[in-house]
Chains A and B, each alone.
Chain A
């Protein structure tokens, strides 16, 4: 693996070396600037066996640094045909090909451009990679005048460019907020990736989870017994920490609610603490729910693959809800999962007429906004519980945490879930500080590793892309002593941890329900002296004043956190 530069080196490359972010215009026009693949600037292609199993086109072992990508002989034809088909299927794609005026409002809104200064990471130019082919291959002026009309032919060089830059976009939609016509690069990137799939050009970090999710039910390919085992061991931890014994129902027919969350919450740090939070919450309110080993993945890497695969993976949710005979579905903390659930699921796999309109069994609140899809976000669910005073909470238990809130791209810009998690957060922590306005809510910055780019071989690209997010965290860390970055996204929980370590060491990442779990006062719990990470609780909530030595060691732990 190529060596990742240090944070300082990386930032210096942005301020001290010529780049477009700084205002230095490259000597050559972008169409005459070929891409160059080398170790570290691309993610490994999908493995032949996996592509075969998924029955995707052109399975083979290949390497982007090679001159020969082993493409089908008629690959240009395949791409152009696919291009035309998609122009006829997606109005967004057709309109966005036609109406951009290149005003440049989006240019410095992309985290990858801000962090790299690479011109082709400006959203407008990322889309022009495709638009130029649209003009050059399909439009009269472009066919005759070529580059004068902004057109070019579909060449191998263009294809390489697509592979590089449609895998340096996380479909976060931030550019779309600023575009006067709402042009959404996520739509462009999705189309670009679909077209590349037609030739078998993809990345393994995306295809392997898709394969796993399809067959075993979750990204890591945890088989049913392992998945259950993983959750059971979290229950043991919960018992150690709180003294509460929890039995998690699996594949239980007739439960009222099916709970689906990203599988990362079942086995990956720090997601497992969020899972412990969910389990404590459900126990606390006596929820009649079940988890499923078959539909054990909330995430959906199909979204990054093509719309057919997205539908296929997502279809498990309703299929399992139907089989188990639940009334409605509760969804855990995730970003892109909620893009799919909120904007695609009902259209693709509905109508879910075998389910009931979601109604909280605890508060009686009917979730009208989920009337048709019948799936509720856990932040909505918990906010309603707190509002109706159904939870016993002691926010002081989180006093060691000075928390800021990361809005995940998809829940913010493809859903509008902004105040629900903040309401929950403010009820479970005492120290909350917002990042600056231009880095939160609809203007939130991506973690830089979404859309299956959370793989280690492109660490430098990830750290560049995550720089704007990290920088805003650093701002509140310096100003308010923030030491915890909380979020509702499983990919964030994994990738922001790495990002913080790199740019803002000392800031830990937590899910929302981890903090809920810490604050929950469970019936019959033992005197808790640690939080869910088994770190000592703050002095003020420790069971009783102990001898000075113990208090001191708690303080040291607290200091170590910040």
Chain B
């Protein structure tokens, strides 16, 4: 059911793009190609910054790293510096492993209860979520970088080498970029996994299917644009670059840029605007997770809690002794006040 809702939502978005472009003509293009992207981008910037600042404003009262390895204790016991870091370098390395290689996800296992003449729990390595997740994120990054060619007049220096790597197979004309294909496959796997893994299916919300379907739609419209539904690349590039130089200028000929370009732009804009209010904010949040970004040195260096309440006092020894003086005396326990 949540999947249907998400599918419906993405379908509506595609129809909107289609409809506006066909019915609206030039002003439709203006809406889809200029107004919506600018609005979406502004919303994204404000929303993202707002959200991250909002998180940073909340204090971290306690130092609570999850230790996934040996602590730093006695000098002759080998510390696991990456899994239980005790200082900034270790924490940075741990975060890099987490952000760049999804280290924690790599631990994933699948557990099953099996009857082998007696109860037995079986665990097996489950690497596909990690693999698909990694492929998904990295190909997304490559596709994003490749698009820099369109954003500015001069092609940035880092784009051609990435394109060369991405298209090393040199099949099809124009050169087939692996990244687009892998992106669709990986996102497709993550989507199908949501439908066939019973545990994941049961917890999945519209908000889980929607971004995947949206990204798949974006990738497919992009692939169609490159290989199937050709557009006037010079006019398109000029237009996109004009967007980025903040002096948007649509070509005078409304047919110069194909409808698919506007659909692609509209879907991307939706994703960009959706980002700050969605779970995709994990891209910012992962850096602020207190179980990962803190050093396991709580006994070595005192952590300060800004709202620590100094008025919370223990039940005092004095009260304790007053309660139990006779009993303590009877067994010869030392007393502060030995009186009647």
Contact residues of A with B, CB < 8 Å?
7-8, 11, 14-15, 20-26, 29-30, 87-92, 94-96, 98-105, 107-109, 114, 119, 122, 124-125, 128, 139-141, 148-150, 173, 176-184, 187, 214-217, 223-225, 228-229, 250-253, 293-294, 307-308, 311-313, 315-316, 319-320, 323, 341-344, 346-348, 350-351, 365, 367-373, 375, 380, 383-384, 387, 412-420, 423, 436, 438, 441-443, 467-468, 471-472, 474-475, 503
Residue from B77, B98, B203, B328 having most chain A Cβ neighbours under 10 A: B203
CB-nearest residue of chain A to B288: A95
CB-nearest residue of chain A to B306: A89
Residue from A100, A343, A351 having most chain B Cβ neighbours under 10 A: A343
**Cross-chain contact A442 with B83 (CB below 8 angstroms):** yes
B230 at the interface (CB under 8 A from A): no
With a CB–CB cut-off of 8 A, which chain A residues contact B203? Answer: 30, 102, 104, 107, 119, 122, 124-125, 128
Stretch at the interface among B159-167, B174-182, B316-324: B316-324
With a CB–CB cut-off of 8 A, which chain B residues contact A20? Answer: 198-199, 202
**Cross-chain contact A30 with B202 (CB below 8 angstroms):** yes
With a CB–CB cut-off of 8 A, which chain B residues contact A124? Answer: 203
CA distance A114 to B113 in the complex (A): 8
B298 at the interface (CB under 8 A from A): yes
CB-nearest residue of chain B to A114: B111
Stretch at the interface among B23-31, B55-63, B259-267: B55-63
Contact residues of B with A, CB < 8 Å?
1-2, 5, 51, 54-55, 58-64, 66-74, 76-78, 80, 83-84, 86, 98, 102, 104-105, 107-115, 118-121, 123, 129, 133, 197-208, 277, 279, 281-282, 285-286, 288-292, 296-305, 307-309, 312-317, 320-321, 323-324, 327-328, 330-331, 333-334
Known: A187-B291, A347-B303. 5 other contacts (CB 8 A): A122-B203, A372-B300, A420-B73, A442-B69, A475-B120
Known: A182-B291, A251-B334, A346-B299. A413 touches B67 (CB 8 A): yes
**Cross-chain contact B73 with A373 (CB below 8 angstroms):** no
Partner of A371, one of B76, B83, B299: B299
**Cross-chain contact A373 with B299 (CB below 8 angstroms):** yes
With a CB–CB cut-off of 8 A, which chain B residues contact A467? Answer: 119, 121
**Cross-chain contact B74 with A95 (CB below 8 angstroms):** no
Partner of B119, one of A11, A105, A316: A11
**Cross-chain contact A107 with B199 (CB below 8 angstroms):** yes
**Cross-chain contact B300 with A371 (CB below 8 angstroms):** yes
CA distance A148 to B8 in the complex (A): 12
Partner of A312, one of B2, B102, B312: B312
CA distance A293 to B205 in the complex (A): 53
With a CB–CB cut-off of 8 A, which chain A residues contact B121? Answer: 114, 467-468, 471-472
**Cross-chain contact B302 with A351 (CB below 8 angstroms):** yes
With a CB–CB cut-off of 8 A, which chain B residues contact A307? Answer: 61
* A451, chain B: closest CB distance, angstroms: 16
Determine the main DSSP class of A at the interface with B.
helix
CA distance A217 to B89 in the complex (A): 41
CA distance A311 to B330 in the complex (A): 32
CB-nearest residue of chain B to A365: B74
* A326, chain B: closest CB distance, angstroms: 14
CA distance A360 to B58 in the complex (A): 40
Partner of B77, one of A107, A149, A179, A383: A383
CA distance A7 to B118 in the complex (A): 10
With a CB–CB cut-off of 8 A, which chain B residues contact A380? Answer: 73-74
**Cross-chain contact A178 with B62 (CB below 8 angstroms):** no
**Cross-chain contact B71 with A369 (CB below 8 angstroms):** yes
CA distance A347 to B98 in the complex (A): 27
CB-nearest residue of chain B to A228: B331
With a CB–CB cut-off of 8 A, which chain B residues contact A252? Answer: 334
Known: A417-B73, A420-B73. A346 touches B291 (CB 8 A): no
* A275, chain B: closest CB distance, angstroms: 18
**Cross-chain contact A294 with B198 (CB below 8 angstroms):** no
With a CB–CB cut-off of 8 A, which chain A residues contact B281? Answer: 98-99
CA distance A514 to B70 in the complex (A): 24
* B206, chain A: closest CB distance, angstroms: 6
* A320, chain B: closest CB distance, angstroms: 7
CA distance A109 to B281 in the complex (A): 24
Known: A150-B205, A312-B312. A372 touches B288 (CB 8 A): no
CB-nearest residue of chain A to B301: A372
Partner of A25, one of B70, B201, B296: B201
With a CB–CB cut-off of 8 A, which chain A residues contact B197? Answer: 104
CA distance A184 to B290 in the complex (A): 9
Q: List 5 A-B contacts (CB under 8 A).
A: A101-B282, A180-B98, A253-B334, A442-B83, A474-B119
With a CB–CB cut-off of 8 A, which chain A residues contact B307? Answer: 89
Partner of B308, one of A105, A139, A347: A347
* A379, chain B: closest CB distance, angstroms: 9
Partner of B313, one of A114, A187, A315, A323: A315
**Cross-chain contact A26 with B202 (CB below 8 angstroms):** yes
CA distance A342 to B84 in the complex (A): 13
Partner of B70, one of A90, A223, A253, A418: A418
Partner of B315, one of A98, A316, A375: A316
**Cross-chain contact B305 with A348 (CB below 8 angstroms):** yes
Partner of A438, one of B5, B123, B289: B123
CA distance A319 to B317 in the complex (A): 8
Residue from B67, B300, B320 having most chain A Cβ neighbours under 10 A: B67
Partner of A471, one of B119, B200, B320: B119
CA distance A94 to B110 in the complex (A): 29
With a CB–CB cut-off of 8 A, which chain A residues contact B58? Answer: 87-91, 94-95
With a CB–CB cut-off of 8 A, which chain B residues contact A177? Answer: 66, 68, 104, 107
**Cross-chain contact B317 with A323 (CB below 8 angstroms):** yes
CA distance A98 to B108 in the complex (A): 22
Partner of A141, one of B84, B107, B277: B277
Partner of B333, one of A100, A148, A228, A347: A228
With a CB–CB cut-off of 8 A, which chain A residues contact B67? Answer: 412-416, 442
With a CB–CB cut-off of 8 A, which chain A residues contact B70? Answer: 416, 418-419
CA distance A351 to B70 in the complex (A): 26
With a CB–CB cut-off of 8 A, which chain B residues contact A250? Answer: 333-334
